[in-house]
Structure 1
Amino acid sequence: RLKRSGLKVRFCTNESQKSRGRLVGELRRLGFDVSEAEVTSPPPAACRILQERGLRPHLLVHDEVRSEFDQIDTSNPNCVVIADAGEHFSYRNMNRAFQVLMGLADPVLISLGKGRYYKETSGLMLDVGSYMKALEYACGVEAEVVGKPSPEFFRSALRELGVEAHQVGCLAD
């Protein structure tokens, strides 16, 4: 119905363990008519920030979303990007992110969300926000949150659509 209306449409997700391609594939199998270009997710929003600011991240992200950062220079990191890295949230990997941040004169920590936990079939799981807070505390920095509920995340979706916030509306039955 939205697509038939002729309105510009954007689907926003805080998914940071799946690439947009995989997420769109799953949605299509469920019967949704959606393309990658219509999906705003934290990894591409973070990539825009990295490119705009000339940042080279140390990535602590899930393997599934690494491909979203393929066009980003990760040599000689001058910031850390953290996402829901799942099993990659090991002491070794967290300590490496900590070391990168502590080695910077002006440390930048970008988080693709700030959830405390989420539920899986096996039970509750720590989310990226818990690990983000650990790095904030240890390094004395405040993370820039790129995913939901960050206003910047929603502004990035508006930029992709080429509209201003005051031009946004919703359809009602």
Structure 2
Amino acid sequence: MRWFGKSGTVGPTGRIGAVLIDIDGVLTVSWEPLPGAVEAMERLRAADVPLALVTNTTSRTRARIARRLADAGFPVGPDDILTAPAVTAAHLREHHPEARCPLISAGDVRDDLPGVDLVEEEDAGGAVPDGLDLDTGAFLLGLERAAGTEAVVTGKPSGAFFATALAHLGAEPAGVLMAGDDIDTDVLAAQGHGITGVLVRTGKYRPETRVAADGTPDHVVDTFADVPALVERLGR
């Protein structure tokens, strides 16, 4: 089922040969597999379909996520997972290789930031206190104004995230399908970058959200269990 064009990338225009998959709400809810999700993943593996699991989480490493999913029965490893920190590291290595960066995170994701010069905690202004605290988004506008620049967002739905995911797969946008439960961040964002969008009716899916969205998904399926058959049909 895997198809390579003359350039060596996966899938020609209009033919799907690789898959991006959101995790929470698509494969699992509270880390419990949704019905048929494990079997669907096994079916994609058996068909040798290149895939990547994509998530905006900043509190868990790829290795930790892979362990949780593997314990639940999913045939995945750390190299199959792309997180916002991993994409950020790729962006920094390409565009700002000399930058020194403070790490502000609720979890230790240093292992997913290879090649990034991280500022030690004491040099970055001290540790985050215990209890309730504001996340970085609350003061991002102030930082932008003080620095006289605009922040680059590297998580979904940014172009940087999808560009890194495509490079990870070695695929052109027209040869890739994105399965997600968030019509805006997952599906329409992917479609905006030339990727086929598939909305699943699980997780955060709500009919009213779909009606109110600014666009229409390329495809809508009941669950991720329906995705392998769709990939097979679109890959012909």
What are the within-5 Å matches in structure 2 for residues 11-50 of structure 1? 11-50=53-92
The answer to whether 1:144 aligns with 2:188 is: no
Question: Counterparts of 1:3 and 1:139 in 2: how far apart (Å)?
Answer: 46
Displacement of 1:18 = 1.1
Question: Counterparts of 1:30 and 1:125 in 2: how far apart (Å)?
Answer: 32
Instruction: Please identify runs of 4+ aligned residues in structure 1 that moved more than 6 A.
Output: none
The answer to whether 1:153 aligns with 2:197 is: no
Question: Counterparts of 1:135 and 1:89 in 2: how far apart (Å)?
Answer: 20
CA contact (8 A) 1:60 1:88 kept: no
The answer to whether 1:68 aligns with 2:76 is: no
For the pair shown, the structure with the greater C-alpha radius of gyration is 2
CA contact (8 A) 1:18 1:65 kept: yes
The amino acid of 2:63's aligned partner reads G
Cα RMSD, aligned residues only: 2.9
Decide whether aligned partners of structure 1 residues 65 and 168 sit closer, same or farther in structure 2, where only a CA change above 3 A counts: same
Aligned to 1:10: 52
Displacement of 1:67 = 2.5
Give SS of 1:2's match.
helix
Displacement of 1:70 = 4.5
Q: 1:59 aligns with which of 102, 105, 122?
A: 102
CA contact (8 A) 1:17 1:64 kept: yes
Displacement of 1:60 = 2.8
Higher RCO (CA-CA < 8 Å; seq separation 6+)? 2
User: Under a length normalisation based on structure 1, what TM-score does the superposition of the two structures give?
Assistant: 0.63
Decide whether aligned partners of structure 1 residues 133 and 29 sit closer, same or farther in structure 2, where only a CA change above 3 A counts: farther
Cα deviation code 1:100-139 (max 9, x no counterpart): xxxxxxxxxxxxxxxxxxxxxxxx9854422323312333
Aligned to 2:176: 168
Give SS of 2:157's match.
coil
Decide whether aligned partners of structure 1 residues 159 and 59 sit closer, same or farther in structure 2, where only a CA change above 3 A counts: same
CA contact (8 A) 2:70 2:76 kept: yes
Q: Which runs of 5+ in 1 are unaligned?
A: 81-86, 91-123
Displacement of 1:28 = 1.7
Decide whether aligned partners of structure 1 residues 140 and 10 sit closer, same or farther in structure 2, where only a CA change above 3 A counts: same
The amino acid of 1:152's aligned partner reads A
Decide whether aligned partners of structure 1 residues 154 and 48 sit closer, same or farther in structure 2, where only a CA change above 3 A counts: same
Give SS of 1:26's match.
helix
The answer to whether 1:88 aligns with 2:128 is: yes
Decide whether aligned partners of structure 1 residues 134 and 33 sit closer, same or farther in structure 2, where only a CA change above 3 A counts: farther
Displacement of 1:48 = 1.6
User: Under a length normalisation based on structure 2, what TM-score does the superposition of the two structures give?
Assistant: 0.48
How many pairs are equivalent?
131
Give SS of 1:3's match.
helix
Displacement of 1:89 = 7.6
Identical-residue share of aligned pairs (%): 31
Aligned to 1:112: none
Question: Counterparts of 1:72 and 1:156 in 2: how far apart (Å)?
Answer: 16
